[in-house]
Structures are given as structure tokens and as C-alpha cells.
Structure 1
Amino acid sequence: MNDQAVGCYRHPDRETGIRCVRCERPICPDCMVSASVGFQCPECVAGGSGTGHHPRAQTPRTIAGGTHVADPRLVTKILLGMNVALWIVVLSVGDRVVDDLELFGRAALTPFTPLEGVAEGQWYRLLTATFLHQEPMHIAFNMLSLWFLGPPLEAALGRVRYLALYVLSGLGGSALAYLVAAPNQPSLGASGAIFGLLGATAVLLRRLNYDMRPVVALLVLNLIFTFTWSNISWEAHVGGLVVGTAVAFGLVHAPRDKRALVQYATCGAALLVIVAVVAVRTLQLAG
């Protein structure tokens, strides 16, 4: 859809850059009805309550084509619960769980033991590391960020697309860390996925013609922390940000008549790039 200013569909003489998040028709301030994410037109609001007559309002869809649900935070709650549950397990069991699930390319955890890591076929570490935390401040910051960024994206994208965005962002961060970092350098945490959500938020706000300054300031601040604080895997942050931004762009800018095809292709292409990066690095370490 063209994001340039056009006339409101009910008041053609009033230019606007805002569109209904359900039917994507342009709406002026007098026609905007606030929703969980963005604004809806009066007809879609009426259609959502069963009183509308516009055909596109009978099956309300989000801006990315997802269905509106009663609890737009469900997936975010599940992801947050998985992170916290694994953190509690780490506190209870100790370093053994961390050694089994954290990300590193190839290393001997103790002297005279076999090499372990992604290069040794333990590919699951690319995903399990994104749910793994040790320090209280680490998980607290990541989970607060997830709770702040996740629900609006989940409401705008729909559950399945949002989950795909989260997982691919986390894997993208792990893939870049695996490619660039030293083989024995461990990496863990949901930060790669969180940076992907941050990039996706910027894409969504741009798509809705909202003020970009707050999210840009937040992104710049987080990148400054990434490259100035010690013991931070900048590779995971940058990898998650790049993948999350790219995937979100494909999700929210897919043309309506080819939406499913473009969105599947976007997620598939991101996954193929991740797999290719992992394969290349594995061949390097094997050689």
C-alpha cells in the first residue's frame, strides 16, 4: 500500500497518512477509533461487534493478515514463561544445564573431554541458548523488554507471524554469533530475539506512519550499550536486529492479494540464510 497522504475514505477533502489496521482504508482524525495497535475505521469497529455491513469488516484482520484474538498477549506470556522457567531450572541445577544448552561453536568444557558445540552437530544450541539466562539483571532486562515490545507486535502481526518473527530473530542472532565469535566463546540470552522485536517495532511504526523518534532513540541507546558494555554478545544483538527487521518488513508490506505467498517467502528466505551461515561456519571449523 502507498503510505503517502491521501484523502480519508469518509471525508475525501481531508488528507491523512493513517490507515485502518483492519481494512487499510485511509482515515482522518475524526474517523479514527483507537485500537490495541493503531487505529480502526468506524465500519470495522462496528463489524467487529457484529453490527457492521462492510464486507471486509466481517472477518477482521490485522495489518499483517492475522486474526484478532481475545488475548493478544498469549504468545508473549508463553515465551516469557519459558524463559523464566528455564532460569529457575538453572538456579536449581547449576552450570550443568548451562553447559548443555548455551551457544558455542566448538570447545572442550573440561580437560580431556570430547569437543562439543554447534560444529559437533549440536545445532539445537542455536535455539536453546535464546531461552537461557544466568544473571538476574540479564533476564530481568530481557523480560521487561519482551513484555514492553511483544504484545503490540503480537496484536498487529497475529500469533503465528509474531512467533515466527521471534524465533527467526533469535536464530539470526545465534547464527551471527556462531559465525563471527571465537569457537569457544559462549553466548546465551534472549537479547537477539529482543533486538529483532525492536527492529520490527520500527518497521511497524513506519508502516502506520507513526512518530519514529522514540523507537529510533531506544534503538540507538541499546546499540550504544551493546558496543560499550563488556560481556555482551554484539553479534547476537546485530544478527537479531537485522533478521527481525527484514522479516517484519516482509510481513507488514506484503501486498494483500499475495500476502501469504510473500510472508511465507520472507520467513523461508530468512531461515535459508540462517541455515547457510551455520553450514558455512561448520565447514570452516571442520576444516
Structure 2
Amino acid sequence: MSTETSPPPSLPGLPGTPLMPSWRSPSGRGLRFCLILIGVFILGAWGLHALGGWTGALFLITPACILLIGVFVHLRHLLARRPILRLDPAGIAGAQGPLLPWQRIARIDYTGLPYAAWLEITMTVPPGEPDPRAAWTWRRRSQRRIALSALDQTLHMPVLHAALRQHQQAAPEHARALDAAHEREQQASDAFHTHLDTLSSRPWAMIGMMGLCVLAWLAGVLAGMDPMTPTPDSLYGAGGNATSAVQAGESWRLLTAMFLHGGAVHLALNMYALWGAGRLLTRWVGNRGFLLVYLASGLAGGALSLHFAAQLHVSVGASGAVFGVAGAVSAILLRSGGRYPIAQRSQLITSMAIFIGYSLFYGFTNSGIDNAAHLGGLVAGVLLGLLMAGHPDAATSARQRLTREALGALLCLVAVPVLVHTAAPAARDLAHFTANLHEIDAVRQSTHQQLQQIEARRMREAGHAPGSTGWLDEEAKALQTMLTVLRSESGRLAALPWGSDDPVGHYAQAEIAHRHALTEQIEVELEAMRIARSGAPPSAELAARRKAVQASVQQARDALNRRAAEIGLVKRTP
């Protein structure tokens, strides 16, 4: 029994066939993806704003705004009312641009990415004529693109085959040469990837570096470090990078800092980025080459940070090394030419560019990001990638690769000490700075524990109905105890030896002011309880005072948050 299948709605290859935009195209899929992501980012930003203000919300609002550009681009393609492509015996033409005669076409290639696709048309260049590159696209004048992003995905291959048939009929000599070239490229690509697999079957170096980062985080948590937001003094004590410490002889911090992270989210983001770029780099340069790029980039990023962020803050994270790995991959791809499949090469370069560009943009527009470490690692990685970007075939002997790696290591051994010794004297002694913060943290923890104990005892001993005289007495007793604790702990803070221009001292003063405001609020509540116990109605004066005290507490809390932001020590990457 035989069955007949109906032809597709359009017949590519026949003259006059209309090929119109479709929502089942890569652009349609990209538009849906962008809208979903924008919705997720907006919901996440709303949740973060409700929990902790705009600082975290901006991290999600920024990519949502960037995605709006993608929505505009995809909508522009989908809403166009003109045909995407025209095929006829004379030539081929896109939605924009002139008709390209078959006789002048040397080759036709197809590139399909998740949310974009196009035909790459290479025109013949008469002998003696120049073939310059365009300033904006960097493509040669003989290279033309016909976008297929808005065309139904199921028609892409029929369109390609129809174009190749028309080309073969109109220019058989060019078509035969094109078929032979495609076959040679496919054979070379298969052999190339097979050889890459033999160079490094397992990325043990990358897994080892990721394991050290995770172990460092686990060790910190087991030692009492906060798993999500470790304090600056704990990261400094664990080996975070700081100009004052390195200039005091603790150069080892340049190495240890690249394995420390400012919390589980910071660690996860860096490891995710490293997993994608690290496997690619290992396939090109092997495990030994990966180790060189990772460590050299991390050291270079830390050394450059001594001139900027580490002057005032503790700097931690593997981001300098990760940027170096991404930079090396980008440099190798750009130098690979035709040795890497063009579709995969374009997709990888785009992915690396988006990662690097967004991370730098976010770092320059938000506080708490050590962009110096990013840039230092990126530059080191690009230079090492250019140095090690030789074709990894049999002609590139192990001795040649070792020579390139040795030269890269030598450059690192020269550049890092130069960056370290040319850094200006530290603007802040972070050993003293973090010690002062530790004192404040100890007082805050003591206050918090005592207040929790008072609250637990109050709940445990509650034996009267709310609003009764006995209940008012119990509440007043608990509030009076809290008042005593706040006054005592504020006295401890005030007794600490702060300098007149010490930023931590300013933070401590804001903490004291906040506690004084809380003390006043408790005093007002005690007065309200005394009035309630006497049976008198609450006065308008008391209500006004309560409202004023609440505003004072909010102002003191805002001032405390501003001081906390001013001394935000931990510099990390998103």
C-alpha cells in the first residue's frame, strides 16, 4: 500500500515562487524565546526588588532591556511584506539587494544558527580587480549574504538545493568546482575533529581547576563562612587579593584569590562559563595549554587589579582566568580560518562576544565588580591564544607546542611582576580595615543573638491573653530587656578606636545611629503600653511621635545601607 505526501506550501526553485516570512522560522522562534526570557527576567527583578531593593533587580533588568533589541530585529523581519528570497533562471536575490547572476557566483554556502540563518554567496572576482573589505562588516565585496532568518525552517534545505541546482544549470563549471571544494572541506573538517579528540580526550585540567574552586568554597563554609554572602574579613583571611597585602610580601594572594568566590551564586556562574569555554580550549591546546592560559590569565587579572579595585577592596573570583580562557578561544577561532566549520565557528565567536561584552557592560555599570581583573585576564588570554593558535595537526610537533607554551609562560613571568611592582602604594590597609569590620560584625552578632534569646523567652513564657494587663507587663519587660541590650552594644561600638577619616568608623557611627533610633522606638512603645495599662485612650501626640520615630528609624536604616555600600569590600563578577 502506497501513500502520497502533499508538497510543501511553496515550491522553492521554480521561477516566481513567493517565499514570504513565517512565524515558524528562526526569527519566530527567536522572538518567542526573547519574550519568554524578558518575562522571566522581569518577574525575577520584581522578586529581587521586593526582597532587597534595586541592586539585585538591576542585574536582571539590564539583560531584559538588551533582549528588547532582539525583539525589534525579529519583529522587523517577520512583519516585512516583501518576499525573503527570489530564485529564477537569471539569478538569486534577497529581500534587499540586487539580483546576483548565476554566472558570476563562485560558491554558495549555508549557515544555520539557532535564531538566524543565511546563504553566503561568493562572487567571482575578475583577475586584476581589487576585492576590498567593507569597513563595518569586514566582509569582502565579493561576499554577499541573503538572510533566511524569517523563512520557514522546513524550507531552508529545499531552498539551498534549489539554488545549487539553478547554479549548476547556469554555471556548470563553477558548480563542479563548488562540489569538489565542499567535499574537500568536509573531509578536512572530519579529519580535523578526529585529530582534536586524540590531542585531549579528557579535560582533566579544567575539571581539576573547577574542583579546586568548589573545594575552596566548601572549606570556607565548613570553617564558618557564609555560603551565599561571605564577609569581606573572612575572604581576606582566606587569601583574597589586596594591594596592601601583596605589597607587604603576600604575593601568593594573586594565586589563592582566583579560587575563592563571593558566595555560591558567584561560584556557579563562573564555573558555568568555564565549563563551556574550557572544553573548547582544551580540545585545541590540550590540558597543559589550558593550565597555562587559566593560571596566567588569573595571575594577570589579579596583578592588574592591584592598580584599581584591590587598592580599596578585597578581590576574589576565577573571573580573570575565565575571561582569559574565553579570550584565548576567541583568538584561536579568529585565526582558525577555514579549518573550523564556518557555522560552528560563527556561532562560537558570537557566543564568546556576547559573554565578554555583557560581562564587561554589567561590570562598568554596576558597583562591586572587578573589571580590572576581567580586562587583565582577557588581554592575557587573547595574547596566549594568538601565540598558541597554530593548527594542531601532525605538522605541529609536540616540541613546537611546548616551545609556544614555554614562550607564553615566560611572557607571564615577566608581565605579572612588572604589574605588581608598578602598582601605586595601597590606598587602604585592608588588614586593619577588615579587622575593624570583624569587630563590628562581632558586636552585631552578639546583639542579634541576645535579641533572639529575649524573643524566644518571651514566646515561651507567654501566659496571658493579648491586650490583658498581664500580657502588657510581659511585653514591657521584654522590650525593656531589648532596650538594655541595644544601649550596651551601642556602647561597645562607640568604645572601639576609630580614626576620624576611617570609613569603617563612619559605618560604625551609622550603626550606632540606627541603634539609637531603634532605642527611641522601643521607648515610645513602652510609653504606649503604660498608657494602655492605665486605661487611658492613646493621645494624638503619641501617635504623631510614633510616626516620627518610625520615619527616623527608616532614615537611619537608609544611612546605614549607604555606608555599607561605601565600604563594600568584596569585588567579584556576576
- What TM-score comes out, normalization by structure 1 length? 0.71
Mapped contact 1:177–1:235 kept (Cα < 8 A): yes
Q: Distance in 1 between matches of 2:287 and 2:388?
A: 12
Unmatched tracts of structure 1, length 5 or more = 1-10, 17-25, 46-59, 107-116
Deviation at 1:67, TM superposition (A): 6.4
Residues 236-247 of structure 1 mapped to structure 2, 5 A cutoff: 236-247=373-384
Unmatched tracts of structure 2, length 5 or more = 1-176, 226-230, 338-344, 428-574
Aligned residues: 229
Where does residue 223 of structure 1 map in the other structure? 360
- Whichever of the two has the greater Rg, that structure is 2
CA offset digits 1:114-144 (Å, max 9, x no partner): xxx0000000000100000132210110011
Where does residue 328 of structure 2 map in the other structure? 200
Where does residue 217 of structure 2 map in the other structure? 87
Mapped contact 1:166–1:197 kept (Cα < 8 A): yes
CA offset digits 1:251-282 (Å, max 9, x no partner): 11489475433432232112211111112227
Where does residue 270 of structure 1 map in the other structure? 412
Against the structure 1 CA distance between its residues 215 and 180, is the aligned structure 2 distance closer, same or farther, given a 3 Å change threshold? same
What SS does the aligned partner of 1:281 have?
A: coil
What SS does the aligned partner of 2:243 have?
A: coil
Mapped contact 2:294–2:324 kept (Cα < 8 A): yes
Against the structure 1 CA distance between its residues 217 and 70, is the aligned structure 2 distance closer, same or farther, given a 3 Å change threshold? closer
Residues 1-287 of structure 1 mapped to structure 2, 5 A cutoff: 14-15=180-181, 27-33=184-190, 39-40=192-193, 45=194, 62=196, 68-71=199-202, 73-93=203-223, 94=225, 98-100=235-237, 101-106=239-244, 117-181=245-309, 183-209=311-337, 210-211=345-346, 212-253=349-390, 256=396, 258-281=400-423, 284=425
Q: Distance in 1 between matches of 2:404 and 2:199?
A: 21
What SS does the aligned partner of 2:383 have?
A: helix
Mapped contact 1:102–1:128 kept (Cα < 8 A): yes
Alignment-mate amino acid for residue 367 of structure 2: S
Identity across aligned pairs (percent)?
A: 28
Q: Distance in 2 between matches of 1:122 and 1:236?
A: 18
Where does residue 41 of structure 2 map in the other structure? none
* Worse-superposed segment, 125-134 or 86-95: 86-95
CA offset digits 1:79-121 (Å, max 9, x no partner): 1110011101111213565223000011xxxxxxxxxx00000
Higher helix share: 2
What SS does the aligned partner of 1:123 have?
A: coil
Alignment-mate amino acid for residue 268 of structure 2: A
What SS does the aligned partner of 2:388 have?
A: helix
What SS does the aligned partner of 1:230 have?
A: coil
Alignment-mate amino acid for residue 32 of structure 1: S
Q: Distance in 2 between matches of 1:27 and 1:189?
A: 45
* Worse-superposed segment, 263-272 or 247-256: 247-256
Q: CA RMSD in A?
A: 2.8
Against the structure 1 CA distance between its residues 276 and 77, is the aligned structure 2 distance closer, same or farther, given a 3 Å change threshold? same
Against the structure 1 CA distance between its residues 266 and 31, is the aligned structure 2 distance closer, same or farther, given a 3 Å change threshold? closer
* Worse-superposed segment, 184-193 or 216-225: 216-225
Between 1 and 2, higher relative CO (CA 8 Å, sep ≥ 6) is seen in 1
Q: Distance in 2 between matches of 1:267 and 1:15?
A: 39
Against the structure 1 CA distance between its residues 188 and 30, is the aligned structure 2 distance closer, same or farther, given a 3 Å change threshold? same
